Amino acid sequence: MQERSNLQVEAMYHASNAAAASSTIETVAQLVAGIRAKQAPAAPLGPADSLTDAGVSSLDMVNLMLAVEASFDLFIPSEMIGPESFRSIDSIASMVETIRARA
């Protein structure tokens, strides 16, 4: 009986993490859309699409970094500030989840 209970708790934990990740992706997508809204109209951007290929400039990236910190109430460590972390909506969401897991 105890083993089943542990499995149920683990399943609930993973479901909770999946819901948080989905919410994170949605929030990041809204932040990126806000940055892109200041530009000329552009094609929709998918979660894995390159932000730089979509026309997001280095200044936009800095503004996006600040928006992510403010929206998620976190500090992005310097070792995570780089092209890999800000390549796409998915990569930003993954970075946010990694920082949250460390807290």
Span of 27-41, 65-79, 84-98 with lowest mean pLDDT: 27-41
Q: Which residue has the tokens 């290929």?
A: 53
Domain ranges for the chain, please list them. 2-102
- 86 pLDDT band, cuts 50/70/90, is very high
Q: Select the CATH number that applies to the domain covering 2-102 from these four: 3.20.20.10, 1.10.357.10, 1.20.120.420, 1.10.1200.10.
A: 1.10.1200.10
C-alpha radius of gyration, the chain, whole number: 16
What does the pLDDT read at residue 72? 95
Q: What are the φ/ψ torsions at residue 74 (nearest 5 degrees)?
A: -145, 170
- 22 vs 97 pLDDT, higher one: 97
Span of 18-32, 57-71, 86-100 with lowest mean pLDDT: 18-32
Residue 93 burial (CB count, 10 A): 23
Nearest residue to 36 via CA among 56, 16, 6:
56
